Chains A and B, each alone.
Chain A
Amino acid sequence: MTQTKAHVIIIGAGFTGCALAYDLARRGLAVTVVDRGEIASGTSGRTHGLLHSGARYCVNDQESAIECIHENIILRKIAHQCIEYNGGFFVALNEQDLAYQARFEIGAQQCGIEIDAIHPQKARQLEPNLNPAVLAVYHVPDGVFDPLRLALAFAASARFFGAEFLPYHEMENFLTNGQGTVTGIKLWNRLTNAHSELKADLVVNATGAWAGMILKKIGASVVVTPTPGIMVAYNRRLINRVINRLNEPGDGDILIPQRRMVVIGTTSYEAEEVDYIPVEKEQAIQMDRDAISLVPGVATCNRRGVYMSARPLIGKGEAGRSLARTFKCFDHRETDGIEGLVTITGGKATTCRLMAEKTADLVCQKLGLTATCETACEPLRSYREYYRPSGVNR
């Protein structure tokens, strides 16, 4: 490779890796993204699909809430091509929900999230399938995205600025110079079964729930706890707006519309190994009940899909829901004395652009570059351009 620009390898082509590739390529760096599977075949493809307004976190995790509302507004502008933006409701169904109301209103105001109280009768006119027993309703700026296309739109934009994508290439190990500096990675091309090495000035580990597995290969200490959850999709679009339960974040409390479906989610428990997450039938039945309590018409639908995926939550030991939903970027020189390696994990789909911005800032600082982030204003390229052939990239 004849490269004069600084070359960065990103491991992982989920939202985080694709958004980071776009940011770095736009700043003028040479970028190669590797993933052992298809784009978004890890957690990102199997996300619930809610473009968070932040209201869910405005009481207990305000840092995440503020990140969400900022990024929600940006993504609605730059990724309009794959977002259903019809807003959402938070609905109270019992006394406990009503008791949360005051904290919710204050939290939303503190985080700068626009919420509107709506008379329950009016809400039921707008969403005729809503549980008729709703006691209080707020409108919030929620949306719904198509997961693969959101990742592809970032990847297409990254390719437009010269980034190279190598799907079906598994990172097997790190290359080092023997003195604690990462100099590249060893790769297994699963399309052809060939093995190869790829050098870089810096490697970014953007493998989400697998970040801890990758770091084990080099003895780094950052702990990431894979925290799976379930989603169930039903075969009728019964609502146009996202329906959230007005209470502290819990299980089965978000029902989203998507295409002709509605999708309920989710649960939260810790796991070690998440290459294959078996569907927990009990949890799926719980989801049916939860969905029906928000929108009784779900009882007349058929299940269309049931799936699981794992959040990458930073830290360990506490109950999954109490781990903050924000993200963290680690310079492994600081944490482990390893040069040339950065890990970005945690966060949400909704905040992937911001995660990329912060990581790209760190990458540039480490490489002694001064380029700044330019990803917040201009719409992303059409996601279909990811497949556009180009001499080097295909």
Chain B
Amino acid sequence: MTEGHWHVTFCIYRKKGDQPPFYQDFPLEVDPDEYVLDGIERIWAFHDRSLTFRHACHHSTCGACGMLVNGVEKLTCITPIRAVTKNGGTIRVEPLRNFPVLSDLVVDMAEFYLRMEQAHALQVVPVAQSTLPYEPPPFPDDGLPHQRLNDCIECGMCVSACPIALTASSYQGPAALAATQQTYSLTGEKSLLSLVDCADGVWRCHSGFECTAVCPSNVDPAWRIMELRRQVIRHRIQRIFHQDR
């Protein structure tokens, strides 16, 4: 064994076509500072070319590599092996929950992305308004219209962790609702509020806060959903007020 290296077993969820799923063990020598995704890619490169998994950026900007690691949603490209097991330990890797599994660790993101599109989720936002309202601004405002890529990387991990999404597949889900809140705050698009003011929208959330716990990217969907409720109610009251006049 190379000095400082660990022996760990990757126990990986496998599924192909209509065949029943099973778990397969891959013992690996790893550097504990490597990321879980590095181990998975090595299994593909050197042990089993049929293993499928989603990945692209390897540094938490694309959102493709969310998986269940030892039962918890993790962005595998930035999760060091050291953080999820010990020397001689096991790393159990499974696809995200609440998404259809296409093969092995690959889930179908179609419905999720569609909902993000319907929520008019922004991918590029003004730097000055990019953080959560309760966070200190990251920069002194130099008056220039700087923009940046948004916090939500559309990894789907909040949906995977959400107990409501588990029982109600029609639920719009934490990512889309959080996106609605942010887009509405920035654009004031009223039609977005009617889209979420329904049983499958803001009112379905039971404030479990699991989404916020697993979000790798500071979105705080749970807070945003609560804020969105306030925005919806404010809008309702305004409407009544208008009608009364």
Contacts and interface: CB of A to CB of B under 8 A. Distances in A.
A191 B103 contact: yes
Nearest to B149: A259
B103 A168 contact: yes
Contact of B123 (A46, A81, A128, A260): A81
B232 interface: no
Interface stretch (A33-41, A246-254, A369-377): A33-41
B59 A307 contact: yes
B45 to A, nearest CB: 4
Contacts of B63: 148
B140 interface: yes
Nearest to A145: B149
A233 B60 contact: yes
Interface residues of B, number: 52
A169 to B, nearest CB: 11
A259 B150 contact: yes
A214 to B, nearest CB: 16
A54 interface: no
A144 B127 CA distance: 14
B217 interface: yes
- Tell me the dominant secondary structure on chain B's binding face: loop
Contacts of A49: 61
A143 to B, nearest CB: 10
A103 interface: no
Contact of B147 (A84, A149, A306, A389): A84
Given A259-B153, A384-B113, A385-B117, A168 B106 contact: yes
A292 to B, nearest CB: 18
Interface in A378-394: 382-389, 394
B58 A190 contact: no
Name the residue in A39, A83, A85, A260 with the highest tally of chain B Cβ atoms < 10 Å from its Cβ: A260
29 contacts: A37-B52, A40-B56, A46-B56, A49-B61, A81-B124, A82-B124, A86-B144, A86-B147, A86-B148, A128-B140, A146-B149, A190-B52, A237-B138, A259-B148, A259-B151, A259-B153, A260-B138, A260-B151, A260-B217, A260-B218, A263-B59, A276-B44, A304-B78, A305-B35, A306-B59, A307-B57, A382-B117, A387-B113, A394-B110
